[in-house]
A and B are shown apart, each in its own frame.
Chain A
Amino acid sequence: MFSILHITDLHIRDPHGSEEYLRIGFFDEYLDSLVVTARPLLTKEPKCLIVTGDFIDRGNANNFDHASTVIRYLADKLKMPYDQVVVCNGNHDILRAYETTGDLVAARKPFKDFASQFGNGTAIHETKRAVLLNPLEKLWCLMIDATLGSNGEDHPGNLESNEADELMGWIKSVPLDDLLVIGAHYPVHNIMAEGAVFDEEDPLWSKRHMWGKGEILKERIRLREERPQIIWLCGDIHKSFNVSHNGQRFMATGRLGTMTAIADSQVRRHARIINMNGARTPPETWLMEFVPIGHSSQSHLGRWKKTSEEQTSAQTSDFLSESPVIVPDVITASSKSEAASEPVPIKLLTPSVVAPVNAAEVASRKGIGIATTRGFDVELINAELQEELLQTIRDSGLYHFGRFDTADVEVSLAWISMGLLLNKEGILPSILSSMSEWLNGKLGDNQSESQSHSLLIGMDCWGSVIASQLSVLTGLPNICVAERGGGQHYLPSETLTSACFSEIQKAATIILVSDVVATGLSLVRLHQKIGIGDSAAQHKRWLALSIMCDEKQNRSADCGFLEGNGTTCKDLRMPILPIDQLPPENILAPLISFR
């Protein structure tokens, strides 16, 4: 049908210098090597080049000329007309001085001029937020400015409802049998584990790099459930991922350029190929990376290689399913380190971008029946205890109704004063006893084997209390991790560390323990983070235990990876709403916010 080459983040800062790959004196050698590697992989005709922003560095518009040279050179080498090149801007492509004064048009004028020489100059639709392009037959590209609305701050912008309305109108106009690619510089929020931290030392990483408002568009597309597939392409994070979720595929590609001397210069440069056979056929994708030769002082010397883990066709049968899937080309730091011939400066166990796991596949592999759609299979572990809990909550007035922003995309409308509940005479020991019995039942009779291969993970303070007590009762080891707000408000040592992963890797069964499961996103997020640090995570058996888990809530989180989900109270309604169904915070302030 056609092939797409996706590159991003050129970050041209000093074209006349000697410290970057795309400098005047070197870019042709660098790109020639890329083309040599890419050409045999670009198996379909015609071809399209999509670039998702940060052509220049730090808003130095003078460098757009060289960026243009680079892009044209690459297109020429691939024998690709310039109107088959499609671009969107990144945060470095706007002029910050104008942006901060509110002159959004002037801030983007150099980029717009630059973009107009490519396919963007022949847009079908255009607003200040986005352009809709039809660069190839059967290929539509919605290129979005995800920086708009950031008010000059160093984080992604917004997306107003009326803008989303307009974009949805465009999307509806695209024929269903054509492929729609949505390009935006920032990854749309919640495709990674919500709040996951790319750099443990930067707790604001998620805020700076995840386009939270893009979630609105993503969800609206998902709810229509008409289009067979949509591909989102993004950059910004200088890392690559490739995940499918609810019929939409999300790919980030690592940067193409930047200086070689900056701190993270040894993070590999990437480019991605997407071969499409049809709108209803899963894509074949390849990730290419530039592998330096020799030591870091010569890191601009090297050659482009395809990475073997990038091929996705093996598991793409899940591509159109409702359940989220993980595909084998998710680049984990650990997998990259094995291939690296040089030190990789990023922390090996730092969660980067993660994907929901394919519950159906895991279930199938284990021969067990798990619901593959969203929702929870909740198992009440002690009906009598549930009655006691409900009565205590009622009698002591422990149920609070209001807005509780415990997750970014969904809001819990209920809060249980867990401390007050668990301090009622005898309740905590009763809960622990019931949970312990349930757990022993799940782990089977072979206790010694179970003990050596199972691990309790206590989430946040009360989850840690329960996990540590269950640890004493069962003999299983436990670890306590801070997960509220994605762990951003805690020390890195309180979140998942390498020490945790050494325990996790030993375990065949993981039991996630928390006080309340509201939106369920914390479970998903932790599962995903573990999947990043432990490549065998999807082969493990996963259980969850909680005090409260309303079984009837329709959550967006898919906990299908759980083989068992026990709770001591499943019948207390704890409503959840998508955040966009509530008024803004300045009208209805959250009583609690983990953000």
Chain B
Amino acid sequence: MRPLPVLRHDDFVYSRLKALAWVTNGTGLPTLLQANAGRAVAHIIEHDEPTKPLVLDCKGIGEVDDHALENARTLLQNQQRPLVLLNAGAIDASIKRELGEYSLILIGGMPVYILGDDTIDRGIASRFIQQAKEIVDAYVATHVKECFQKYEGGRQRMASTPLLASGVFDARPLISDPLKFVWISLLMADGLEDFLDRPLEQPQSADEANKPTRHFRLLAVSLRGSPLAAAVGLLSGRHKTIEIVDHMGPKYKILEEPSLRSTAVEEDYIYVGDFVIGGTELRIAQAYARSKGSRIKHAVVIGRMLETAEYNLDFDITSLVNLHECSPNERFVFLDY
């Protein structure tokens, strides 16, 4: 079987059901775990460090096809491999049907399902949760760091922003490698879902009162942003429009005729992109949204250089990493005009 999206800790093996569903079945039914994904789970159980517990995060999965995890169940029993399921509340019934009896504990409000090992208690499960987050964060930080390409010959002015920089972050390595792309996209999709799950904000002014607040379209304005926006949109169980403008960043050159698009947009925009350094691309995108009679309400990116507040935008940015923390030795200096 081809390489699967699995991360390994000294104490356990970790994966996401949604990632397995994506690589095996695509995004036609993004919240459904089908038989192919079940086979991938079985493969991991059988072959991926089978002496260690397997921790599967079920976030974003809402249904499991009948018999999808049949093989996994057999292998778990045969190998007596412990299985810990996180964020599995939405598929509680399916777990019982497919995998049999489990122990259920609540950790920080999250139902955690433990199968096949009575020794995994609350303390161990809590540690697994924390360590799983740490290996995911480390995975992202490591690979984002690899995206930094130092300029030859010292600092140069960046193409998009009046900044002198010692190099540039290029998301190509993250998009090129399917496993990295899966993890990055999935985490960005989580960020989007977290934003959409926030309580509705109150209208800030009279003209906003009648605007829908939970109907969004995703906006990508660059070559690198496009695959990310599409992935985030496709992974979401909620139907939303993906709008790609070619292109506003890092250079600005619109290669499509606006009159061929719908001119007025009723939904709010959520910007999806790769890296935010100075924020120029975000501002151009906001101007574009305004020209459509809309606005950007949120941004989801792989990394940002500054804290959100420092960009002085009227929306928040969800970022997987802080680029400065990833590459503390690199320097980005605003040019003084």
Interface residues of B in 211-244 (CB under 8 A from A): 220, 222-224, 226-227, 230-231, 234, 239, 241-244
Establish whether residues A480 and B175, one from each chain, have CB atoms under 8 Å apart when the complex forms.
Answer: yes
Q: Within 8 Å of chain A (Cβ to Cβ): is B192?
A: no
Establish whether residues A400 and B260, one from each chain, have CB atoms under 8 Å apart when the complex forms.
Answer: yes
Q: Note all chain B residues with C-beta closer than 8 A to A465.
A: 226-227, 230, 244
Establish whether residues B251 and A491, one from each chain, have CB atoms under 8 Å apart when the complex forms.
Answer: yes
Q: Within 8 Å of chain B (Cβ to Cβ): is A433?
A: yes
Interface residues of A in 480-504 (CB under 8 A from B): 480, 482, 484-485, 489-491, 493-494, 499, 503
Chain A nearest CB: distance from B302 CB in Å?
14
Per the bound structure, the CA–CA distance linking A417 and B245 in Å amounts to 12
Establish whether residues B159 and A491, one from each chain, have CB atoms under 8 Å apart when the complex forms.
Answer: yes
With contacts A425-B239, A461-B247, A493-B170 taken as known, whether A471 is within 8 angstroms of B261 at the C-beta atoms is: no
A contact face: mostly helix, strand, loop, or mixed: helix
Within the complex, which residue of B227, B251, B256, B257 is in contact with A468, where a contact is CB–CB below 8 Å? B227
Q: Within 8 Å of chain A (Cβ to Cβ): is B22?
A: yes
Establish whether residues A417 and B224, one from each chain, have CB atoms under 8 Å apart when the complex forms.
Answer: no
Binds A, one of B23-31, B276-284, B319-327: B23-31
With contacts A419-B244, A448-B2, A469-B231 taken as known, whether A503 is within 8 angstroms of B251 at the C-beta atoms is: no
Closest to B262 in A: A420
Establish whether residues A419 and B261, one from each chain, have CB atoms under 8 Å apart when the complex forms.
Answer: yes
Q: Within 8 Å of chain B (Cβ to Cβ): is A436?
A: yes
Per the bound structure, the CA–CA distance linking A448 and B4 in Å amounts to 13
Closest to A429 in B: B28
* Number of chain B interface residues as a range: 35 or more
Chain B nearest CB: distance from A173 CB in Å?
44
Establish whether residues B251 and A480, one from each chain, have CB atoms under 8 Å apart when the complex forms.
Answer: no
Establish whether residues A422 and B223, one from each chain, have CB atoms under 8 Å apart when the complex forms.
Answer: no
Chain B nearest CB: distance from A381 CB in Å?
15
Query: In this complex, which of A423, A426, A476, A592 has the most chain B Cβ atoms within 10 angstroms of its Cβ?
Result: A423
Chain A nearest CB: distance from B139 CB in Å?
17
Establish whether residues B178 and A478, one from each chain, have CB atoms under 8 Å apart when the complex forms.
Answer: yes
Establish whether residues A484 and B257, one from each chain, have CB atoms under 8 Å apart when the complex forms.
Answer: no
Within the complex, which residue of B181, B251, B255 is in contact with A594, where a contact is CB–CB below 8 Å? B255
Per the bound structure, the CA–CA distance linking A499 and B26 in Å amounts to 28
Q: Within 8 Å of chain B (Cβ to Cβ): is A105?
A: no
Chain A nearest CB: distance from B50 CB in Å?
21
Establish whether residues A472 and B182, one from each chain, have CB atoms under 8 Å apart when the complex forms.
Answer: yes
Closest to A487 in B: B223
Interface residues of A in 276-294 (CB under 8 A from B): none
Chain B nearest CB: distance from A464 CB in Å?
5
Per the bound structure, the CA–CA distance linking A441 and B224 in Å amounts to 29
Chain A nearest CB: distance from B167 CB in Å?
11
Establish whether residues A490 and B247, one from each chain, have CB atoms under 8 Å apart when the complex forms.
Answer: yes
**Which A residues are closer than 8 A to B by beta carbons?**
400, 415, 417, 419-420, 422-423, 425-426, 428-430, 432-433, 436, 447-448, 451, 458, 460-462, 464-465, 467-469, 471-480, 482, 484-485, 489-491, 493-494, 499, 503, 591-592, 594
25 residue pairs A–B, Cβ–Cβ below 8 Å: A400-B260, A420-B262, A428-B27, A432-B26, A447-B2, A451-B2, A458-B227, A460-B223, A461-B226, A461-B244, A464-B227, A468-B227, A469-B230, A471-B178, A472-B181, A477-B176, A477-B177, A482-B247, A485-B255, A490-B223, A490-B251, A491-B159, A491-B250, A491-B251, A592-B256
* New A-B contacts (7) at CB < 8 Å, excluding given A468-B181, A489-B251, A499-B173: A451-B2, A469-B27, A469-B227, A472-B22, A472-B178, A474-B178, A493-B149
